[in-house]
Amino acid sequence: MISQANAEALHRCIKCGLCLAACPVYKHLLEETAAPRGKVQLLKALESEGLTSSRYLEEIASRCLLCHSCAAVCPSGMETGHLIAALRAELVRSFGLEWKKGLAFRYLLSPGGHFGLALQAAQILRSLLPSQIKVAGSRLSDLPSIPLRSLHDRLPERMRPTRVKATVAFFPGCLIDNVYQEIGRAALSVLQAVGVEVIIPKDLACCGTPLVVSGEQEILAQNLKQNLRLLSAQKVDFILTACASCGRTLKKEYPYLLREWGEDDSLAVEMGEKVQDISEFLSNQEELQGLLGPVPISLTYHDPCHLAKGQGVRVEPRRLLRSIPDLAFVEMAEADACCGGGGSFQFYFPETSEKIVSAKVENIFKTKSEVVATGCPACRLRLESFLGTDHSGIRVRHTVELLASSIKTGDKTR
Amino acid sequence: MLNPEALRRLKEIIGEERVKAAPEDLVAYSYDGYLRESLPGAVVFPQSTEEVSAIMKLCAGERIPVTPRGAGTNLSGGSIPVPEGIVLCLTRMNRILEIDERNRLAVAEAGVINGDLQKAVEAKNLFYPPDPSSQYISTLGGNVSENAGGLKCVKYGTTRDYLLALEVVLPSGAVIRTGSRTAKNVTGYDMTRLLCGSEGTLGIITKITVRLLPKPEMKRALQAIFPDLGEAGETVARILGAGITPSIMEVMDQAISGAVEDFTHIGLPKDAEAVMLIEVDGEKETVERQISQIAQLCAKGGATEVKVARSDEENEAIWLARRSVFGALARLSPTTFSEDTTVPVSELPTMLRKFPQIAEKYKVRIAVVAHAGDGNIHPCLSFDERDQEEKARVELAAREIVAESLALGGTLSGEHGIGISKARFLPMEFDPATLQIMREIKRSFDPLGILSPNSFVSQKLKG
């Protein structure tokens, strides 16, 4: 049974169909079962016992990127993503979690899990495999190489600039901690430059996004509570992240999930108010402008779903990028269209996912930019592997990496 | 339930993969944008006219009811199926076949999304005006079947005014072609116009040829605040009377603009009875002259505040209010039902003044948004569907709205269609002889009565 609150929410759907226009999956499959409205109606039928759990329903429920594009256009203000996650959780209760996922979550993503270690092992293994092998449509050679030690392991827990005007906690997230460490390093260097002290608390767990979208709730509860305890204990002005999905989950999912479980959400609400995406925080740091040196490149920006639709952060990254001297900013068509990654979606539905990313890549090409900036390491992974296969030479970078380069050239010219 | 033999033969015709009959598929095709729901026996996704024809031949032979459907945004319930029948879903017939710049026309399959056609023709500096609120998802086939309108009808008319030719599969499976690629055509009955707005009762539209216009050079919007709703209505008539035809003229009453303000915080007053939104498009000089004329007429008509957009961004800001209406209303009440009554433009002020009286009489909430320029009014009745007593009062109020607008020379529906939602009101508008000839037209197209079982000519499901 889903919660009372979600059961009530189901009845707010007026079946207008506007979510179909926003759904990247519906756009390619053109079937109501692929659409958010269809899934809401199916959950409603399941609740009223007009329908029973089935493997087919499980497949339908998994045909969603949880990009939250539907929620962003819903006239009734429904959090359709919550309902689809609730449907998945319901199906996990009926059928259990797929064994591969169950195993992976327990050993890799739980508190103290070995996500980093597993990736490092994969990196060693990969050097033994031919580079033409494909994973979810990406050639092995187009996937990023993995550092052999995590970022938080390499850094001190507390980093103080000479003049401190604010203190923040930085939540690196699994991908930045273990794969794209350069994003984390860039974020730290920019924060240092504007006089912000940074703490990376030890023992942070995965934020839980992969668990939320899979309908797994047991390990999710452990991760949530551990992170909430560690982050709430910090005496900081803000909690920052450079990962769109981590940011959305910390801000919006934690309080929602606690309410769903009938638990007190006050601590999570309080913590959520402190969470900001790095671009939100930096766009309010006035002294940043004076530090920026020229970066003479042409650049376009891809809105990560979990940043634009999930957190409403659209203006800030653009403002930051446009403030870099000599940088030619070109807006692409449908900049907020999904990259088609959607966590395990790309593995389960490679064909649909590839169609979605191909449309995105085409819009990037049309801008004739040298760099595409974005605010999410998962989007970067997806875009990099597909831009890579075309050998277009377009690089994918996080907004904060460009700011770090700009500060570096600024330093030289001063 | 569909008999297994029929299901097997459907799969033979279009392949297993495009015939769906699992309980999950049936639930997902049991509704459109209206309140009611009913499961079909199966859902089929043809990809060509030949496939549609073969399906219809089978269904005619087996007497299987067929409900054609596009994106399912129908507001009057005509795309809701019956358990012994099938849903024939046209979303996969979605190719734009031709954009002919010299003859200014486009040919598209029925499943093409309105907004996709608009985008494609705009890239060639052409313009397809019909713009229902569902434009980014509703299909052209659905638009033609419902004769969809939208915001720009005061100047540009409805879907009907852009139709040149249709390809239609009859319930027997026979394929007919109506109209031509020419601007003029008086050969035989005007079947194109008969099929437009026929709500899927006569045939399945598979291919559509539409007329296009050159894209207007520019557009400008204006927002005017009126202390009195009737005065706003009078101003509409005065603007049209002055020989100006704006592309859009919308009026929102106090309940709507208040709800929009609560939802968007864009600075609309909450004490004014009406907010009017107007847009003019065309050549630069004309647009600028007309928008200042309109501003003067609004001021003369008692507007306390008139704001003219100076840029495209300011245009967008003005339209944000209108685009938020649906959302604001949906948040007000568990169930909101939008009526679609339409009166001659000169009677608009009279009709607008009736709503508060009707709301008072039946103790119901009525919020009004109107495509004022064409007399099409959407009084939105909000209620809790689970409250039977309230529901009964809403029904009485709806009936009175219909009666009042008919008395003013109006009509039941301007753009949403009759379907099952308003079928019970039909005898109020048509005399028995008119209703009879409509039934006979239906019979000559569909003698077996298998097409669109839930429609204004036959309702299995009551509205």
Of A11, A16, A20, the CB nearest to B334: A11
CB within 8 Å of B444: residues ≥ 6 apart: none
Is residue A138 scored above 60 in pLDDT? Answer: yes
Q: Which amino acid is at A87?
A: L
- Which of 304-343 (B) contact A at CB < 8 A? 326-327, 329-331, 334-336
Assign B265 a pLDDT band (cuts: 50, 70, 90). Answer: confident
Query: H or E element: which one contains A71?
Result: helix A69-73
| Interchain CB contact of A312 with B (< 8 Å) | no
Residue A3: count of CB within 10 angstroms of its CB: 14
DSSP letters, B184-251, are: ---SSS-HHHHHTTSTTSS-EEEEEEEE-EEPPSEEEEEEEEES-HHHHHHHHHHHHHTT---SEEEE
- State whether A257 and A169 are in the same domain: yes
- State whether A74 and A161 are in the same domain: no
What is the rounded (10 degree) CA torsion for B60, B62, B63, B67? -70
CB within 8 Å of B303: residues ≥ 6 apart: B224, B225, B226, B235, B276
- State whether A156 and A278 are in the same domain: yes
Q: What 8-state DSSP symbol labels residue A412?
A: H
If you measure CA to CA, which chain A residue comes closest to B132? Answer: A18
Inter-chain residue contact B330 with A33, CB threshold 8 Å: no
Residue A55: burial class (beta carbons within 10 Å; 0-12, 13-18, 19+): exposed
Each residue of B188-214: pLDDT tens digit? 999 999 999 999 999 999 999 999 999
For B311, the 3-state DSSP assignment is coil
Inter-chain residue contact B134 with A17, CB threshold 8 Å: yes
Is residue A136 scored above 80 in pLDDT? Answer: no
pLDDT at A137: 67
Whether residue A234 lies inside any domain: the answer is yes
Q: What 8-state DSSP symbol labels residue B411?
A: B
Residues in A closer than 8 angstroms to B94, CB to CB, are 30
- State whether A25 and A57 are in the same domain: yes
List the CATH number of the domain containing A20.
1.10.1060.10
Residues in A closer than 8 angstroms to B114, CB to CB, are none
Structure tokens at B304: 């306390």
Whether residue A172 lies inside any domain: the answer is yes
| Interchain CB contact of A330 with B (< 8 Å) | no
Please answer whether residues B140 and B208 qualify as being in contact, where contact means their C-beta atoms are separated by less than 8 angstroms: yes
Q: Which amino acid is at A84?
A: I
pLDDT at B408: 97
Q: Is the dihedral of CA B430, B432, B437, B439 positive or negative?
A: positive
Q: Judge if ipTM > 0.90.
A: yes
- State whether A258 and A330 are in the same domain: no
Assign A235 a pLDDT band (cuts: 50, 70, 90). Answer: very high
Nearest Cα of chain B lies from the Cα of A51 at a distance, in angstroms, of 7
Whether residue A120 lies inside any domain: the answer is no
Whether residue A140 lies inside any domain: the answer is no
For B454, the 3-state DSSP assignment is strand
| Among A351, A349, A358, A348, residue whose Cα is nearest residue A382 | A358
List the CATH number of the domain containing A318.
3.40.50
If you measure CA to CA, which chain B residue comes closest to A39? Answer: B28
Residue A71: burial class (beta carbons within 10 Å; 0-12, 13-18, 19+): buried
CA A362 to chain centre: 22
Nearest Cα of chain A lies from the Cα of B296 at a distance, in angstroms, of 35
Nearest Cα of chain B lies from the Cα of A13 at a distance, in angstroms, of 9
Residues in A closer than 8 angstroms to B31, CB to CB, are 15, 41
| Interchain CB contact of A121 with B (< 8 Å) | no
If you measure CA to CA, which chain A residue comes closest to B71? Answer: A17
Nearest Cα of chain A lies from the Cα of B68 at a distance, in angstroms, of 14
- Domains of chain B by range and CATH? 96-214 (3.30.465.10), 218-414 (3.40.462.10)
For A262, the 3-state DSSP assignment is coil
For A390, the 3-state DSSP assignment is coil
Inter-chain residue contact A33 with B334, CB threshold 8 Å: no
Each residue of A356-384: pLDDT tens digit? 999 999 999 999 999 999 999 999 999 98
- State whether A316 and A374 are in the same domain: yes
- State whether A268 and A330 are in the same domain: no
Residues in A closer than 8 angstroms to B113, CB to CB, are 21
Whether residue A102 lies inside any domain: the answer is no
pLDDT at B201: 97
Residues in B closer than 8 angstroms to A57, CB to CB, are 24
Residues in A closer than 8 angstroms to B32, CB to CB, are 15
- State whether A405 and A309 are in the same domain: yes
Q: How many beta-carbon pairs under 8 angstroms link A with B?
A: 81
Q: Within 13 Å, how many C-alpha atoms sit on residue B219's CB side? A: 19
| Interchain CB contact of B115 with A (< 8 Å) | yes
Of B24, B111, B331, the CB nearest to A42: B24
* Angstrom distances, CA of residue B108 to CA of A63, A220, B79, B167, B210: 29, 49, 21, 10, 8
What end-to-end distance do the CA atoms of chain B give, in Å?
22
| Residue with the two structure tokens 């072609």 | B177
Assign A144 a pLDDT band (cuts: 50, 70, 90). Answer: confident
Of A75, A95, A115, the position where a domain reaches its end is: A95
Each residue of A404-414: pLDDT tens digit? 999 999 888 76
Inter-chain residue contact B334 with A20, CB threshold 8 Å: no
| Among A75, A63, A60, A62, residue whose Cα is nearest residue A25 | A63
Give the helix ranges, DSSP H, for B63-190. 114-122, 140-146, 153-156
Structure tokens at A243: 């990962």
Please answer whether residues B284 and B189 qualify as being in contact, where contact means their C-beta atoms are separated by less than 8 angstroms: no
Whether residue A133 lies inside any domain: the answer is no
Q: Which amino acid is at B309?
A: A
Please answer whether residues A151 and A178 qualify as being in contact, where contact means their C-beta atoms are separated by less than 8 angstroms: yes
Inter-chain residue contact B327 with A75, CB threshold 8 Å: yes
Assign A344 a pLDDT band (cuts: 50, 70, 90). Answer: confident
Assign B6 a pLDDT band (cuts: 50, 70, 90). Answer: very high
| Residue with the two structure tokens 């008999």 | B3
Count of structural domains within chain A: 3
Please answer whether residues A81 and A68 qualify as being in contact, where contact means their C-beta atoms are separated by less than 8 angstroms: yes
Each residue of A331-342: pLDDT tens digit? 999 999 999 999
- State whether A324 and A274 are in the same domain: no
Structure tokens at B127: 């313009």
Is residue A131 scored above 80 in pLDDT? Answer: no
pLDDT at A358: 93
For residues A193 and A213, give the distance between their C-alpha atoms in angstroms, rounded to a whole number: 36
Please answer whether residues B304 and B235 qualify as being in contact, where contact means their C-beta atoms are separated by less than 8 angstroms: no
List the CATH number of the domain containing A226.
1.20.1050
| Interchain CB contact of B127 with A (< 8 Å) | no
* Angstrom distances, CA of residue A129 to CA of A123, A220, A284, B318: 10, 34, 47, 59
Look at A108 and B246; give whichever has higher pLDDT.
B246
Of B23, B28, B45, the CB nearest to A38: B28
Query: H or E element: which one contains A260?
Result: helix A254-260
For residues A218 and A209, give the distance between their C-alpha atoms in angstroms, rounded to a whole number: 13
What end-to-end distance do the CA atoms of chain A give, in Å?
63
If you measure CA to CA, which chain A residue comes closest to B136? Answer: A21
| Interchain CB contact of A41 with B (< 8 Å) | yes
| Among B160, B126, B124, residue whose Cα is nearest residue B140 | B160
If you measure CA to CA, which chain A residue comes closest to B385? Answer: A11
Whether residue A399 lies inside any domain: the answer is yes
Each residue of B138-168: pLDDT tens digit? 999 999 999 999 999 999 999 999 999 999 9
Query: H or E element: which one contains B371?
Result: strand B365-371
* Angstrom distances, CA of residue B50 to CA of B6, B42, B207: 18, 19, 12
Which among A12, A30, A57 is the top mutation candidate for probing chain B, defined by the most B β-carbons within 10 Å of its own β-carbon?
A30
- State whether A314 and A366 are in the same domain: yes
Nearest Cα of chain B lies from the Cα of A342 at a distance, in angstroms, of 23
Of A15, A17, A60, the CB nearest to B137: A17
Q: State which residues form the domain around A32.
A: 4-95
For residues A174 and B6, give the distance between their C-alpha atoms in angstroms, rounded to a whole number: 53
If you measure CA to CA, which chain A residue comes closest to B337? Answer: A14
Please answer whether residues A358 and A332 qualify as being in contact, where contact means their C-beta atoms are separated by less than 8 angstroms: no
For residues A268 and A336, give the distance between their C-alpha atoms in angstroms, rounded to a whole number: 28
pLDDT at B386: 81
Of A255, A282, A309, the position where a domain reaches its end is: A282
Q: Is the dihedral of CA A355, A360, A365, A367 positive or negative?
A: positive
The predicted model gives A169-188 an average pLDDT of: 96
Residues in A closer than 8 angstroms to B20, CB to CB, are 31
| Among A318, A147, A306, A164, residue whose Cα is nearest residue A242 | A306
Q: Within 13 Å, how many C-alpha atoms sit on residue A230's CB side? A: 21
Inter-chain residue contact A15 with B33, CB threshold 8 Å: yes
Each residue of A43-62: pLDDT tens digit? 999 999 889 999 999 999 99
Whether residue A376 lies inside any domain: the answer is yes
If you measure CA to CA, which chain B residue comes closest to A14? Answer: B33
pLDDT at A125: 76
Of A282, A303, A337, the position where a domain reaches its end is: A282
Q: Within 13 Å, how many C-alpha atoms sit on residue A167's CB side? A: 11
Inter-chain residue contact A18 with B137, CB threshold 8 Å: yes
Nearest Cα of chain B lies from the Cα of A354 at a distance, in angstroms, of 19
CA A389 to chain centre: 23
Inter-chain residue contact A54 with B23, CB threshold 8 Å: yes
| Interchain CB contact of A31 with B (< 8 Å) | yes
- State whether A262 and A311 are in the same domain: no
- Which of 354-413 (B) contact A at CB < 8 A? none
For residues A213 and A209, give the distance between their C-alpha atoms in angstroms, rounded to a whole number: 6
- Beta strands (DSSP E) in A38-192 are 134-135, 138-139, 158-159, 166-171
| Among B338, B350, B355, B362, residue whose Cα is nearest residue B422 | B338
For residues A12 and B458, give the distance between their C-alpha atoms in angstroms, rounded to a whole number: 30
Each residue of B415-448: pLDDT tens digit? 999 999 999 999 999 999 999 999 999 999 999 9
Which among B17, B67, B137, B256 is the top mutation candidate for probing chain A, defined by the most A β-carbons within 10 Å of its own β-carbon?
B137
Inter-chain residue contact B27 with A45, CB threshold 8 Å: yes
For residues B329 and B256, give the distance between their C-alpha atoms in angstroms, rounded to a whole number: 7
Is residue A254 scored above 60 in pLDDT? Answer: yes
- Give the orientation angle of helix A80-95 with respect to helix A36-47, to 10 degrees: 50
Please answer whether residues B261 and B268 qualify as being in contact, where contact means their C-beta atoms are separated by less than 8 angstroms: yes
For residues A190 and A207, give the distance between their C-alpha atoms in angstroms, rounded to a whole number: 23
- State whether A276 and A353 are in the same domain: no
